[in-house]
Amino acid sequence: MTNISRRGLLQAAGSLGALSSLPLALASTEAKQPLGHVVVVGGGFGGATAAKYLKLLNPELAVTLVEPNETFYTCPFSNLYLGGIREWDQIAHNYDELKNDLGVQVIHSLASAIDTQGRQVTLANGEQLSYDRLVLSPGIDMRYDSIAGYDEQAAQLAPHAWQAGEQTKILRQQLEAMPDGGLFVMVAPPNPYRCPPGPYERVSLIAHYFKEHKPNSRIVILDAKDAFSKQGLFTDGWQKHYPGMIEWISLSNDGKVVRVDAANKEVETEFGTIHKADVLNVIPPQQAGAIARQAGLTNASGWVPVKPHSFEAELAEHVYVVGDATIAAPMPKSGFCANSQAKVAAAAIVASFAGIPAPSPFFTNTCYSLVAPDYGISVAGIYNLDAEGNLQEVPGSGGLSPREADDALRRSEAQNAHRWYNAICQDVWGTKA
Amino acid sequence: MNIRPLLFACCMAGGWSLAGWQQIPAIEQLLQGTEPQASELTLNLPVFVEDGAAVPVSIQGPGWSGAEPEDWLTRLLLFADGNPNAEVLEWQLHQPQASLDLHSRIRIDQSQSLWLLSQSQTGEWFVQQAAIEVLASGCLVPLDSLDTQGMTNPRVISRAIDGAPGQYQVRTLINHPMDTGLRQGPDGELVPRRIVEQLSLSLNGEPLMDVRLHGAVSANPFLQMQITGSSQDELALLWQTSDGQSLEFSQTLP
Ligand SMILES: Cc1cc2nc3c(=O)[nH]c(=O)nc-3n(C[C@H](O)[C@H](O)[C@H](O)COP(=O)(O)OP(=O)(O)OC[C@H]3O[C@@H](n4cnc5c(N)ncnc54)[C@H](O)[C@@H]3O)c2cc1C
């Protein structure tokens, strides 16, 4: 377990850049009475980062994290588990660093209601928490009403596996039980959704598993879109590693699924084509986690509008929302973005307690995807605010892996993907995978 | 809050209308000085999109604007005030429809308002508006449609609507690049404008509906509508392009 020294703390704050304009005195005054109480709901990429950086930036704050699970399984690298190249406990993380080293009070319960007027959070275990500031990073919920026949029960038979946990295990067991020569069908969602390249990385690594263990099997992607993230790079990689195995059917070629019969592993498209699968992975349209909707923080889109400067919710005061639940395009819904946004929100909260304006933010993101264990591709971007205060990708900052590249470059990107995973998990939970 | 009864009440009183369409020359020209009333139709768009290449849009509501037989809606026109050309789609109805349920997918290249103008047989105009935010630039042309020259793969599915006797849903899609004339090809030259301009529907040989498409309709135009018909009726569809191609398709209603 990491022991965070004062020097490490300042380095951490310094490396944020966004925070460098905060007076360092904030972090060095001796604590007596807590300066205020911040409740963080959700211990995933956004929430755990927020809790940690609030304490790092100002140990005088009392910070409570509410998260039902004692172990967090990451969606990032869950595709490697599905592909048989990573073990289940290698994507598991816990809250020991927050509890033991940073003095965050961690309550393993679900927030069942939020009263933004009275600044109260009610927990499923009956407890009531009052807050001065609230951070929410509840992630996503499936829109179970959007594809006929696809509900929570259906997801037991045709898993989405878009929240890592039981769902991911069901999908892996089904893949293992599938005979050679079987058909894996993925239903891919419309924008916006969690992790734009995620479905295509999943298909790649399942193809890898088939190639090794069930070489006569096939994969069909039924997509509600006409284009997808890193499309050229993925299709090049599929051509090279899994020729003939993967078929992508776009929206305009009747790829949109309108009905699911999970018991028979059958789906129907909008023009009436029936696809029968051996293993069916339905990733439905999504929305902000239920608690954000309950708290009245979402607009008609089902997502949470935020002020890009601080990630404070537009629809309530003293509430900050980060991660997948927010409307933050052009930033993608990624773990890296959630982490980056959480640091900006933490800095804004610390600044608000100090009575000074929030520092001007910038955000970073890199999404690595593995097409095969030794074949990685990536897309990166840096984001800040434009003259009108809206989020923008810093012109010229982004980058995509080149279309033409040798094996050595793809291999080094695959290694970087592992380094990225280890680094971000260390940053968020203080754990090594 | 449900604002539809409110809109309806105001519209009945005749003293209320939306402002903003006056800035759009194409609408001014259409109305020729007539003041439109607030429409009872709903115009549905996502609040925001990340990709403006295929934005779902739909129009729902009664096919009549009032209680008289001649109050049925004969024309609906959709405009986008921030697109290079404001015109998006036009529906001409040749037979009265009890309820309207029209869907398409359109190109929206920046945050803006959409305007729906509808006209009853008596000549009265109605207006409706909806706003959309585009958070990342769109107008991607899907990779696999770049090379297609003409119309291919007409897809049509019609089905009886549960609980609405005599009502059918007709859904159509045809593969075509819908080149606006504003896009550069791989050689740096502008790709000439070439679009699907019209889809005509008829039932048992009687004209039912003509849909006029503009460059703002997405590649591989998708059109869905509700029609009045009966089982075994013969539905015929005819697509026509700006460069003189046409494609016919017919289907018996289930
Ligand atoms: C297959 C896949 C691959 C991915 N790969 C990558 C990748 O390589 N890189 C990358 O950056 N991103 C990746 N992502 C995206 C990443 O997983 C998400 O963007 C990230 O998890 C978002 O963080 P978050 O904090 O918003 O939500 P989450 O990490 O999902 O955390 C939400 C937490 O809130 C808790 N919670 C929800 N409601 C309540 C409540 N009412 N009370 C208390 N707690 C609550 C949940 O239990 C959960 O722990 C991938 C996603 C998938 C599905």
Answer yes or no: do A227 and B140 touch at CB < 8 A: yes
Residue B56's closest chain A neighbor by CA? A190
Residue A257, beta-bridge partner list: A269
Q: A80, A94 in Cβ contact below 8 A?
A: no
| Tokens coding A274 | 């029936």
Closest CA of chain A from B174, distance in Å: 8
**Would you state the pLDDT for residue B148?**
62
Of B168, B173, B151, nearest to B235 by C-alpha is: B168
Q: Which residues of B touch A385 (CB under 8 A)?
A: none
Ligand 1 pocket mutation pick from A41, A72, A75 by most atoms within 8 angstroms of CB: A75
B contact test, residue of A225, A235, A252 with most B CBs within 10 A: A252
CATH code at position B179: 2.60.40.10
CA distance B198 to B248: 12
Answer yes or no: same fold for A16-139+289-362 and A148-284. Answer: yes
**Would you state the pLDDT for residue A32?**
64
Instruction: Give nearest CA residue, ligand 1 atom 46.
Output: A42
Answer yes or no: do B175 and A253 touch at CB < 8 A: yes
Task: Indicate whether residue A197 lines ligand 1 (CB < 6 A).
Answer: no
CA distance B194 to B215: 9
Answer yes or no: do B48 and A329 touch at CB < 8 A: yes
User: What is residue B190's DSSP assignment?
Assistant: B
Q: Which residues have C-beta within 8 Å of that of residue A387, sequence separation ≥ 6?
A: none
Burial class of residue B231 (count of CB atoms within 10 Å of its CB; 0-12, 13-18, 19+): exposed
| Tokens coding A105 | 């009070």
pLDDT at A19 over 50: no
Lowest mean pLDDT among A90-94, A191-195, A393-397, B247-251: A393-397
A271 touches chain B (CB under 8 A): yes
The number of the ligand 1 atom at minimal distance from the alpha carbon of A369 is: 8
Ligand 1 pocket mutation pick from A79, A282, A324 by most atoms within 8 angstroms of CB: A324
CA distance A239 to A211: 13
**Would you state the pLDDT for residue A23?**
45
For tokens 């509430």, what's the residue? A319
Of A213, A204, A206, A215, nearest to A241 by C-alpha is: A204
Burial class of residue B82 (count of CB atoms within 10 Å of its CB; 0-12, 13-18, 19+): middle
CA distance A99 to A336: 23
Q: Which residues have C-beta within 8 Å of that of residue A233, sequence separation ≥ 6?
A: A371, A377, A400, A401, A403
A251 touches chain B (CB under 8 A): yes
pLDDT at A286 over 50: yes
A299 touches chain B (CB under 8 A): yes
Task: Indicate whether residue A110 lines ligand 1 (CB < 6 A).
Answer: yes
Q: How far is the CA of A44 from the centre of ligand 1 (A)?
A: 5
The count of structural domains within chain B is: 1
Answer yes or no: do B51 and A191 touch at CB < 8 A: yes
Task: Indicate whether residue A199 lines ligand 1 (CB < 6 A).
Answer: no
**Would you state the pLDDT for residue A234?**
97
**Type of residue numbered B121:** Q
In percent, the amount of chain A with pLDDT more than 70 equals 92
The number of the ligand 1 atom at minimal distance from the alpha carbon of A72 is: 49
Of A239, A204, A245, nearest to A84 by C-alpha is: A204
- A 176-195 → B contacts, CB under 8 A: 191-192
User: Which phi and psi (to 5°) does residue A56 adopt?
Assistant: -65, -40
Of A336, A167, A188, A168, nearest to A248 by C-alpha is: A188
Using DSSP bridges, classify how beta strands B125-134 and B48-49 pair: parallel, antiparallel or unpaired: parallel
User: Which phi and psi (to 5°) does residue A170 adopt?
Assistant: -60, -45
Lowest mean pLDDT among A18-22, A130-134, A161-165, A327-331: A18-22
In percent, the amount of chain A with pLDDT more than 90 equals 90
In a domain? residue B18:
no
Helix (H, G, I), strand (E, B) or coil at B99: strand
| Tokens coding B102 | 């029209």
**Would you state the pLDDT for residue B27?**
95
Domain ranges of chain A: 16-139+289-362, 148-284
Task: Indicate whether residue A326 lines ligand 1 (CB < 6 A).
Answer: no
Q: How far is the CA of B142 from the centre of ligand 1 (A)?
A: 29
Closest CA of chain B from A164, distance in Å: 25
In a domain? residue B193:
yes
pLDDT along chain B (254 residues), means of 10: 37 50 91 94 96 94 93 97 94 96 95 97 96 70 55 96 96 95 83 95 98 96 97 98 96 97
In a domain? residue B15:
no
Positions of E strands within chain B: 37-38, 42-44, 48-49, 55-62, 73-80, 87-93, 99-106, 112-120, 125-134, 152-160, 167-175, 196-203, 206-213, 222-228, 234-241, 246-252
Task: Indicate whether residue A195 lines ligand 1 (CB < 6 A).
Answer: yes
- pTM of the complete model: 0.92
Out of B48, B51, B142, closest to residue A327 by CB: B48
Task: Indicate whether residue A312 lines ligand 1 (CB < 6 A).
Answer: no
Q: What is the largest CA-CA distance in chain B?
A: 58
Residue A390's closest chain B neighbor by CA? B135
Closest CA of chain B from A224, distance in Å: 11
Q: Which residues have C-beta within 8 Å of that of residue A38, sequence separation ≥ 6?
A: A54, A61, A62, A63, A64, A131, A132, A133, A134, A135, A349
In a domain? residue B174:
yes
ipTM of the complex: 0.89
CA distance A297 to A117: 12
Task: Indicate whether residue A69 lines ligand 1 (CB < 6 A).
Answer: yes
**Would you state the pLDDT for residue A241?**
98
Out of B47, B144, B171, closest to residue A250 by CB: B144
pLDDT at A20 over 60: no
Q: Which residues of B touch A191 (CB under 8 A)?
A: 49-51
Q: Which residues of B touch A270 (CB under 8 A)?
A: 157, 171
**Would you state the pLDDT for residue A422?**
97
Task: Indicate whether residue A328 lines ligand 1 (CB < 6 A).
Answer: no
For chain A, the average pLDDT equals 93
Residue A123, beta-bridge partner list: A111
Answer yes or no: do A253 and B153 touch at CB < 8 A: yes
Tell me the CATH class for A148-284: alpha beta
Q: Which residues of B touch A226 (CB under 8 A)?
A: 53-54, 140, 142, 145, 219-220
Q: What is the CATH number of domain A16-139+289-362?
A: 3.50.50.60
Task: Indicate whether residue A41 lines ligand 1 (CB < 6 A).
Answer: yes
Q: Which residues have C-beta within 8 Å of that of residue B187, sequence separation ≥ 6?
A: none
pLDDT at A432 over 90: no
For tokens 């703390």, what's the residue? A9
A231 touches chain B (CB under 8 A): yes
